[in-house]
Structure 1
Amino acid sequence: MEEDNAGDVAATLLVQLQGWSAGLVEALPRIGVALVVLALAVLAVAIGRSVIARLGRRLRPNLVEVLQLLLSVGVWLVFGLVALTIVFPSITPGSALATLGLGSVAIGFAFKETFENFLAGILILLREPFKIGDFVECDSVEGQIERITIRDTRLRQTDGQLVVVPNHDLFHNPVVVRTDRDLRRAAITVGVAYGEDVDAAREVIADAIRAVDSVRDDVHDVQVFAKAFASSSIDFEVAWWTGSTPLDIRSSRDQVVAAIKRALDESGIEIPFPYRTLTFKEPLALGREGQDGDRREAAE
């Protein structure tokens, strides 16, 4: 009985293998045509990438890579569906697209953030709100842009640290592009004593700033405004224009502070420091008088 069952199983497997072999032989021409279609897909991708590279010489290299990637995906999708319908005639393009659509929805939910960063990266590359080398600030992160990829943007902070920012954050949050223009305004506060002449101090400060090499008073004039009555000084708001990089701002501020201090000293204008007045409820013995009194009490 067991020998009969084993023989039946072997016969069934043999019939199945013969059927598969016959189906494979029958499908060989279709497989050959499908391989030709895939070879044409490789050729089409190569030609398309070459055309995009030539037409996109004025575009960002990263944007050219994105367009080449999208072209490759589209070509392989179309030619792959054609090859699939050739090998399996029972599969229609409509059913293949429907299956692909359901799979895309599932993948979309699983990789939602990845697709958001991908689409944000494409929009950033197309809109070009900032470029490689710009200093930007976004959500308390500041640095120089080194690279823009499909998923993220890489910033190098002024202390040398690298920050990888998802493109979704750059697309949905306000971004300050500090080097959008060649010049940027810098400002400090300068205080002079209450006993000094305000107009004279203003002129001394303005002349001192104009003499600094890094100050671009040929484009925008220096601005000096009396700002407030502080606790021990009249405060001036001092503004001028210089280079837009962080190093330009720090270097120019250093030169301006030194120039103002030197000019005020030479003009005899006091830069005050805080004064403190102490009031006591009872008189205090001061100086030698207090020491003599202590000695008399000790002798007694």
Structure 2
Amino acid sequence: MELSDLMEKVYTLLTLYGLRVVSAIAIVVIGRWVAKGITRIIERLMLKRKVDETLVSFVSNLGYVAMLAFVIIAALNKLGIQTASFIAVVGAAGLAIGLALQGSLSNFAAGILMIIFRPFKVGDYIEGAGVAGTVEAIQIFTTQLKTPDNKTVIIPNSKISSDNIVNYSTKGTRRVELVFGIAYDDDIDKARQIIMDIIEKDERVFKDPEPIVVLSELADSSVNLTMRAWSKSGDHWNIFFDTTEKVKKAFDAQGITIPFPQRDVHIYEHKTDHIGETYSLDSNQ
């Protein structure tokens, strides 16, 4: 083959495919630049609306990958490569992966919804999926809690989102409620005043709403007085434990009895005409 013939064939190939290659490269370069620009715009808009940073990062990365895949398919199509079969293969693979990871995808969807609607945030004390603790991390697939005894609990997002969620930190205040039982022979007004004196001296307890002590129940073995007082959420348990101890000590000092459940058994003797004696047993609570 002569050099002139070879050059002519090279020129023909360049004429036919050179512009396509240049166009494909231009599509990839420009498309990548545009995808990055759109991703930055999405990030700024989401951060401006105070969307969780985890969701911002995930959405921006997912959007960039999707746009980049579209750019690559467009470039391949420009080169004359049939992309229909390629898209079908990718779609079939995606379906197979989706079926295999069905549980993980449900956790993923639940994580996205929790990040968007924010039923709780990091640092909140919540109860959900049968576990109570402080939220340490909200991730795409799982939520991490720290229990009061310093254990780490990792809960799948689909499980926690499908159950009732109790958020104790949302309002910032909580009501402390304690029930104290006294004997039926004890002075109700005296016991009430002892409890009120203790709770009113506690600076952690709010004056408004005003704390109250009411007679709530005439139980089987005791007369029950219920104390209700409001405080900051962070002071709830300290007030609960401190007040319980102080009331017990004050009751002991003032002669107020805290009864325990008991049963009185009465035995009655019945004489009959038959030989021997029979006894009936009558037990009263």
TM-score, L = length of structure 2: 0.76
Residue 213 (structure 2) aligned to one of 214, 224, 227:
224
Superposed CA offset, 1:149-198 (max 9, x none): 21111111222221111111122111111111111122222111211222
Does residue 147 (structure 1) correspond to residue 137 (structure 2)? The answer is yes
2:247 to 260, 273, 276: 260
Q: Using the alignment, how far apart are the partners of 1:275 and 1:106 within structure 2?
A: 66
Distance 1:187 1:40, change over 3 A: same
1:250 is aligned to 237
Aligned residue number for residue 233 of structure 1: 222
Secondary structure of the corresponding residue to residue 204 of structure 2: coil
Instruction: Tell me the residue number matched to 1:178.
Output: 168
Change beyond 3 A, Cα 1:168–1:273: closer
Residue aligning to 1:109: 99
One-letter amino acid matched to 2:179: T
User: Match of 2:37, as an amino acid?
Assistant: I
Q: Distance in 1 between matches of 2:196 and 2:211?
A: 6
1:27–1:113 distance in 2 versus 1, CA, 3 Å: farther
User: Residues 276 and 169 (structure 1 numbering): CA distance in 2 closer, same or farther, change over 3 Å?
Assistant: closer
Give the direction of change, closer, same or farther, for the CA distance of 1:262–1:25 in structure 2 (3 Å limit).
farther
- The answer as to whether partners of 1:146 and 1:156 remain within 8 angstroms in 2 is yes
1:147 Cα shift?
A: 1.3
Identity among equivalent pairs (%): 29
Does 1:123 find its partner at 2:113?
yes
Q: Which amino acid aligns with 2:244?
A: V
Q: Match of 1:259, as an amino acid? A: K
Label 1:88 to 1:113 Cα distance change in 2 as closer, same or farther (>3 A). Answer: farther
Distance (whole Å) between structure 2 residues aligned to residue 163 and residue 45 of structure 1? 39
Q: 1:36 to 1:158 in 2, by over 3 A?
A: farther
Determine which structure has the larger strand proportion and give its number: 2
Closer, same or farther: CA 193–91 of 1 in aligned 2, 3 Å: closer
Alpha-carbon distance between aligned partners in 2 of 1:65 and 1:254, rounded to the nearest angstrom = 43
Structure 1 partner of 2:155:
165
Sort the Cα spacing of 1:230 and 1:132 in 2 relative to 1 into closer, same or farther, 3 A.
Answer: same
Alignment-derived partner of residue 292 in structure 1: none
Q: Out of 74, 77, 81, which is 1:85 matched to?
A: 77
Q: Is the Cα–Cα contact under 8 Å of residues 132 and 148 in structure 1 kept in the other structure?
A: yes
- What are the ranges of 5 or more consecutive residues in structure 1 without an aligned counterpart? 1-21, 283-300
Structure 2 residues without counterparts, runs of 5 or longer: 1-11, 270-285
SS in 2 for 1:258: helix
SS of the equivalent of 1:147 reads strand
- 1:70 maps to what in 2? 62
Q: Which amino acid aligns with 2:122?
A: I
CA RMSD of aligned residues (A): 3.0
Q: Aligned partners of 1:161 and 1:49: how far apart in 2?
A: 38
